[in-house]
């Protein structure tokens, strides 16, 4: 901000990218709120949990989630994990089928394309910091219609920000 106007580099973002940055500003890793354990109880942050926390914040930041949407995704993942933690493999399969039906109803004929777009974003994040795919495959997390919808929506913004790069 203190840089004189004549020394600033020109803004090469497209109008769409500027609009996205205005309405959906990407948050920093430290902006996300991730809680572990039961609310109200202090949980010991083991080295493994600290590493996961750092990695999860990195995924959210690299995907350019705004703070509020990133926190919503964190909450959705937590709720799915709590809901599915005691499910048998057959129950998890049924859960996945039910959630897929919700996505099909919401996205119709465009679902396959939108899932592919989200998968490209996840793959790029996975290449940079492995582990996201395993998280999404565990406990039905990636099967959740809510989690998938949030990833689909963010993938649209993520891809739009990369156009022309």
Profile the chain (165 residues) by mean pLDDT over runs of 10 residues.
62 68 74 76 79 90 92 91 93 97 97 97 94 93 96 94 73
Cα–Cα distance for residue pair 24/43, rounded to 1 Å: 32
Q: Pick from 96, 75, 101: which is nearest to 84 by CA?
A: 96
| pLDDT in the model for residue 8 | 67
| pLDDT in the model for residue 148 | 97
| 10: helix, strand or coil | coil
| pLDDT in the model for residue 114 | 97
Cα–Cα distance for residue pair 153/142, rounded to 1 Å: 14
- For the chain, what are the domain ranges? 13-30+44-162
Contact present, 125 and 80 (Cβ < 8 Å): no
Copy the structure tokens of residue 66.
């705004």
In Å, how far are 46, 47, 129, 143 from 51, measured between CA atoms?
A: 9, 6, 12, 24
């Amino acid at each position: 901000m203190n840089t004189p106007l004549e020394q600033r580099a020109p803004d090469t973002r497209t109008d769409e990218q500027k609009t996205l940055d205005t309405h959906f500003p990407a948050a920093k890793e430290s902006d996300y709120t991730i809680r572990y354990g039961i609310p109200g109880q202090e949980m010991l942050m083991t080295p493994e949990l600290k590493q996961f926390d750092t990695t999860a914040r990195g995924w959210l930041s690299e995907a350019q989630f705004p703070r509020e949407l990133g926190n919503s995704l964190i909450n959705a993942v937590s709720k799915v994990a709590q809901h599915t933690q005691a499910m048998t493999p057959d129950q998890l399969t049924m859960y996945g089928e039910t959630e897929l039906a919700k996505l099909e109803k919401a996205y119709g004929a465009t679902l396959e394309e939108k899932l592919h777009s989200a998968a490209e974003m996840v793959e790029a994040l996975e290449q940079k910091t492995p582990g996201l795919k395993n998280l999404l495959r565990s406990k039905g997390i990636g099967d959740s219609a809510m989690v998938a919808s949030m990833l689909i929506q963010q993938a649209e913004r993520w891809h739009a920000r990369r156009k022309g790069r």
